[in-house]
Amino acid sequence: MQCSATKRFAASFLTMFLVGLTIQPSVAQAPGRTLIRNVNLDMTMEPQLGDGEFGLIASGDVLIEGDRIVAVGKDLDGSGARTVDATGKIVMPGFVDVHNHLWQSLIWGCGASLAVGDWLKACVFPVGRLNVTEQEAYAVVRLSTLDLLSAGVTTVVYWSHAFSPDFARGNLQALLDSGLRFAFAYRGRLEHVDDIRAIKRDMIDPHPRASFQIGGVHPNIATEVVNTLRRMSELAREMNVKLHVHLLEAEHDRQQDPLRALDLAGALGPMLIGAHAVHVTDDEIVRLASRGVRLAHCPLSNMRLASGIMRLGAIRAQGIRVGLGLDGGTNDTSDMFNTMRTAIGLQRALTHNPTVYPTVAAALQLATIGGAEVLDMEAQIGSLAPGKKADVIVLDPDALNFAPRFDEVSQVVFNAQPSNIEWVFVGGRVLKERGKLVGVDAKTAIADANRAGQRVRAALIR
Ligand SMILES: [Zn+2]
């Protein structure tokens, strides 16, 4: 039973959260009919639409109407459509980032020689005590969303800390303004469960690009944590959303037996996303697979924080759905090409085997349709197919880091950089056009983020 003081606090939290929130229109124009024509190489990621496992189509077109792809193929009729001439370009689905903390652009570069536990103590937990304002939160998340879009990420899962109502409000407004498709994994407190419900109902559900997840407490076998996990899992089920937790990221996490804790809490199932899962045993991999749990692989973060190497081959061999995550300030880049390269390179370096999982094809799948499968959104995003959302990126390979072309698909993984991305569509809206973000004053966004960063940095190193 809630005491009246708690009720009052919860009520004020909700009021503070919702008051002053204005939902801004999207940054770009309403989507109409667009023909991306004469593409050098369509990488549809749909084998039935083209050649091989990528469904490759040479000299193809992609036709978009409203927020959806209506046709992919050769010589499509684009009458009445805006035409994007993609001669010489590569077209593919936008990247799906299944685990990120967008506010952490505020601490990019912090604790460069620290492992995960010390990094959290030095760079993350203190920020919760610094009263980050709504404007500061907005500025740093704005910066991250622009960086993601520029790098071709079209869907992001933002596991959001909930330092304060102002902080959460700034986070959400920046996401809504960005034009990105997103899931907001909100780490609200169960004492404020009405607020968690209200945020979903009032701020997420009305937006077709937005979805909600419960950002779960760190799993631990302690009774009170298991009880909290159980209530969070029940809440997620009641809301029909995912529960998203950090799982066995560091070796010392094993002492807390987090998988058993999640099992005792009744949380092991297809509605659970576990980020990292570096230190899982063979038995645990089998258990995760049998329950249909989904995982986020964050290789750059795991390298940066000396966490270890996920047993990706063994995990995928059991059929577990896995996507790639950039993981915020532990990674310091929004570059999914780099993340794919690292996912491949770590396993090859570990096994001395150049054919080990993930292959080039598997890395591209993890970064697109694999991420969509983690989110149960594979019917909507993750590949270029008629009826799917028009989340599309256009790459220009005619660049210093890419040409001459030998094997374009392999080069997308091993050579490409965010600077090669010329066009980004999310739900048919053009958010990057000819290499420039649409309707974005980048200098102002950078200056605003710098101001927030300077204050926080000064406080952290005091
Ligand atoms: Zn994380």
- The span from the CA of 162 to the CA of 395, in Å, is 36
Q: Ligand 1 centre and the CA of 79: distance in Å?
A: 46
The predicted pLDDT at position 17 comes to 53
Indicate the pLDDT class of residue 18, thresholds 50, 70 and 90: low
Q: Examine the pLDDT at 6 and tell me if it is beyond 90.
A: no
β-pair partners for 251: none
- The C-alpha atoms of residue 365 and residue 371 are separated, in whole angstroms, by 8
Query: Where does the pLDDT of residue 410 fall: very low under 50, low under 70, confident under 90, or very high at 90 and above?
Result: very high
The per-residue pLDDT for range 427-450, each reduced to its tens digit, is 999 999 999 999 999 999 999 999
What are the two backbone dihedrals, phi and then psi, of residue 421, each rounded to the nearest 5 degrees? -85, 115
Distance 101 CA to ligand 1 centre (A): 6
Q: Cα of 247 to ligand 1 centre, how many Å?
A: 9
- Nearest to 168, CA basis, from 187, 192, 142, 145: 187
Give the pair of three-digit tokens for residue 171. 């986070």
Between the CA of 100 and the centroid of ligand 1 the distance, in Å, is 6
- Please name which of 145, 44, 159 lies closest in space to residue 98, comparing C-alpha atoms: 159
Instruction: State the pTM of this model.
Output: 0.93
pLDDT (mean) for 159-165: 88
Report cis status (omega within 30 of 0) of the bond before 358. yes
Burial of 234-265, coded b for 16+ CB within 10 Å and e otherwise, reads: ebbeebebbbbbbbbbbeebeebbbbebbbbb
Output the CA 108–ligand 1 centroid distance in Å.
14
Model confidence pLDDT, tens digit, residues 330-371: 677 899 999 999 999 999 999 999 999 999 999 999 999 999
Q: What angle do CA 279, 285, 290 make, to 5 degrees?
A: 150
| pLDDT digits 0-9 by tens, 36-52 | 999 999 999 999 999 99
DSSP string for 31-89: P-EEEEEEEEEEE-S-GGGSBTTTTEEEEEEEEEETTEEEEEESS---TTSEEEE-TT-
Characterise 104 by phi-psi region: left (phi > 0), alpha (psi -120 to 50), beta (else). alpha
- Which residues contact residue 316 at a Cβ distance below 8 angstroms, ignoring those fewer than 6 apart? 322, 357, 358, 362
Q: Which residue has the tokens 């694999």?
A: 370
From ligand 1's centre to the CA of 314, what distance in Å? Answer: 22
Lowest mean pLDDT: which of 105-114, 231-240, 260-269, 287-296? 105-114
H-type helices in 101-247, by residue range? 116-119, 134-150, 165-178, 193-198, 223-239
**pLDDT tens digits along 175-214:** 999 999 999 999 988 988 998 999 999 989 999 999 999 9
The rounded mean pLDDT for the chain is 92
The predicted structure's pLDDT at residue 2: 36
Separation of CA 31 and ligand 1 centre (Å)? 33
Distance of CA 432 from the midpoint of ligand 1 (Å)? 27
Per-residue model confidence (pLDDT) at position 460: 85
pLDDT of residue 459: 87
In this model, does residue 13 exceed pLDDT 60? no
Could you tell me the distance, in angstroms and rounded to a whole number, from the CA of residue 445 to the centre of ligand 1? Answer: 24
Ligand 1 center from residue 246 Cα (angstroms): 6
User: Rounded to an integer, what distance in angstroms lies between the CA atom of residue 181 and that of residue 155?
Assistant: 5
Specify whether the CB–CB gap between 427 and 209 falls below 8 A: yes
Instruction: Report which secondary-structure segment, H or E, holds 56.
Output: strand 56-65
- By the CB criterion, residues less than 5 angstroms from ion ligand 1 are 327
Q: What's the 73 CA to ligand 1 centre distance in angstroms?
A: 39
pLDDT number for residue 1: 36
